[in-house]
A and B are shown apart, each in its own frame.
Chain A
Amino acid sequence: MNLAITFATARRIMTQLRHDHRTVALMVLVPTLVIVLLYYVMDDQRSFDQWAPILLCVFPFLVMFLVTSIGTLRERTSGTLERLMATPLGKLDLLLGYGVAFGVMACLQVALALTVSLTWLGLDISGSLWPLVLVALLNALLGTALGLFCSAFARTEFQAVQFMPLVMIPQLLLGGILVPRDQMAPVLEWVSNVLPMSYAIEAMKDAVMGGDLGGDFWRDVVVVAGSALLALVLGAATLRRRTP
């Protein structure tokens, strides 16, 4: 690993984004637009206060997962990955480069969505802001890491986008949003226990409730961060200098 190469890679990915205004606009605006839509659909401040944090949790994950899996797939198919694998660039340089670049995008995304939610939409969070931002960013990182990992199993962009519902929907269904996790059938609860999104959603709920952020919150944060790290290491393992 080499910091100069990692940052050169992050800068390169940001430059690619800069040439693609539409993608940037979609990444930054879509979560906010959906949250605004949710506000008017709910038409009830209390329900909105419950649902908005969940969207703030889900969106960074979702968008980063998609953009990273397509981005790395493009590197694989265009030959730029093979070229990079013949240079001093380390696997982690590439993965962290994506992580840093898309992490910056996630910051913008969360900042806008939060600003609009807290001002215009009157979202009421009792605690301080930083736990919420921390969880949203960790989720973005988790999305990036899982996107990298899943892109290794896709040969085409058609396949890559199909991984999104596969990774996303079970995590949402089992994450305790629709049905509390302790009311699920035991098997499903076990599955829910190993899915990182369950912890992210619980941490997000704690962050919004405010008050004392106890050991549970930190346990959840550590689980999400650990999952992101694990996915990153698995992602690195799927990058090969030599290919058949």
Chain B
Amino acid sequence: MMNLPSPAISVRDLRVSRGGREVLHGLTFEVPRGQVTGLLGPSGCGKTTLMRSIVGVQVVTGGEVTVLGEPAGSPALRRKIGYSTQNPAVYRDLSVRENLRYFAAVLGAPRGDADRVLEEVGLAGAGDQLGGALSGGQLNRASLAVALLGSPELVVLDEPTVGLDPVLRQELWRLFQSLAGRGVTLVVSSHVMDEAARCQRLIVMRDGEIFADDTPDGLREHTRTTDLEEAFLRLIEERAAA
């Protein structure tokens, strides 16, 4: 038997309840290393809860989540994972650079890292602006920049491209792909289907369940469409018929 590299993330029968209601109903999947994996599905389908479980900040009711060979939430993982929440989690009363320097210090990343990630997310000119003075899109990118500090092996991004114009979105997706090229594993959620085509692997969710886990090409082939949005609709119909 060949010794395959272990997956970046391995999830087995993950169940999560929030507010007395089960929102993830026993998910099982793996995320390969060094790829951009897209997590797709309508809002409220459990994407954020799943990402929080991977990062290890979500109370889970059952199942196993293994990240980079360790149980999710292990202290050893805290330096290896970059995480950006859907609402930009940066201090509005600090400048962008001050935010980045603080988080860099917490992560033990070199001081120069702040300027590197500012450049990467295209905020080099806004480093001295206060978080509160930024536009929504800029704030989002500032929050994304925090997730890129240090040299994370896994980057988990919850809807990083919301509110960005097409040019910026394109630039960010190029950045994600170049990170993956360097061996970083990325999990990126989105509810926009046209972003799915940019991922190497797709996990499609609905109502707390996974109903597709495939490459974009595989998904198109399986549903016999060329359009991923159409593929998504067909999957729903298929489910309803089953």
Interface residues on A, range: 20 to 34
Q: Is B108 within 8 A of A88, CB to CB?
A: yes
Q: In terms of DSSP, what is the predominant structure of the interface of chain B?
A: loop
Min Cβ gap A92→B in Å is: 14
Known A5-B106, A244-B18; contact A85-B57, beta-carbon cutoff 8 A? yes
Q: Can you list, as one digit per residue, whether each of B101-137 has a CB less than 8 Å from chain A (1) or not (0)?
A: 0110111100000000000000000000010000000
A residues near B90, Cβ cutoff 8 Å: 80
| Residue-wise interface mask of A (1-37) relative to B, using a CB-CB cutoff of 8 A (1 in contact, 0 not) | 0001100110110011001100000000000000000
Q: Specify which of B75, B79, B102, B146 is in contact with A8 (CB 8 Å cutoff).
A: B102
Asked if residues B78 and A86 are in contact (CB atoms below 8 Å), the reply is yes
As a 0/1 sequence over residues 87 to 106 of chain B, the CB contacts with chain A under 8 angstroms (1 = contact) are 11111111000100011011
Interface: A241 (CB within 8 A): yes
Our pick among B85, B87, B91, B146 for the contact of A12 (Cβ within 8 Å) is B91
Q: How far, in whole Å, are A89 and B57 apart by their CA atoms in the complex?
A: 14
User: A16–B91 Cα gap in the complex (Å)?
Assistant: 8
Contacts of B108 in A (CB 8 A): 4, 88
Q: Contact between A243 and B59 (Cβ–Cβ < 8 Å)?
A: yes
Query: Could you tell me the distance between the alpha carbons of A5 and B105 in the complex, rounded to whole angstroms?
Result: 7
Contact residues of A between 75 and 103, Cβ < 8 Å to B = 78-80, 82-89
The interface bits of chain A over 187-201 (1 if a CB of B lies within 8 angstroms of the residue's CB, else 0) are 000000000000000
Please name the residue on chain B nearest to A78 by beta carbon: B89
Q: How far is the CB of A85 from chain B (nearest CB, A)?
A: 6
Q: Is A242 an interface residue (CB 8 A)?
A: yes
Contact-size category for B: 20 to 34
Question: In the bound complex, how far is the Cα of B89 from the Cα of A200, in angstroms?
Answer: 38
Given contacts A12-B94, A19-B94, contact A79 B75 (CB under 8 A): no
- How far, in whole Å, are A31 and B70 apart by their CA atoms in the complex? 52
Q: CA A171 – CA B136 in complex, angstroms?
A: 44
- A78: chain B residues within 8 A (beta carbon): 87, 89, 91-92
B91 with A8: CB separation less than 8 A: no
Which residues from B are CB-within-8-Å of A87? 78-79, 103, 106-107
Min C-beta distance of A139 to chain B, whole Å: 26
CA distance A78 to B93 in the complex (A): 12
The interface residues of chain A lying within 8 Å CB-to-CB of B106 are: 5, 8-9, 84, 87-89
B223 within 8 A of A: no
Q: A79 contacts B78, CB within 8 Å? A: no
Given contacts A86-B83, A89-B106, A243-B58, contact A15 B98 (CB under 8 A): yes
Contacts of A16 in B (CB 8 A): 91, 93-94
Known: A87-B103, A87-B106. A82 touches B78 (CB 8 A): no
Residues in B with CB closer than 8 Å to A19 are: 93-94, 130
Q: Which residues of A contact B130 (CB under 8 A)?
A: 19
Determine the residue in chain B with the shortest Cβ distance to A242: B59
A240→B96 CA distance, assembly (Å): 26
A interface residues with partner B (beta carbon < 8 Å): 4-5, 8-9, 11-12, 15-16, 19-20, 78-80, 82-89, 241-244
Apart from the given pairs A87-B78, A87-B107, A242-B73, 15 other A-B contacts in the complex at a CB distance below 8 Å: A5-B105, A5-B106, A12-B98, A16-B93, A78-B92, A82-B85, A83-B85, A83-B89, A83-B146, A86-B57, A87-B103, A88-B78, A89-B106, A242-B59, A244-B58
Can you offer 22 A-B residue contacts whose CB atoms are under 8 A?
Answer: A4-B105, A8-B105, A8-B106, A12-B102, A15-B98, A19-B93, A19-B130, A78-B87, A78-B89, A78-B91, A78-B92, A79-B88, A82-B57, A85-B57, A86-B81, A86-B83, A88-B75, A88-B79, A88-B107, A89-B106, A241-B57, A242-B58
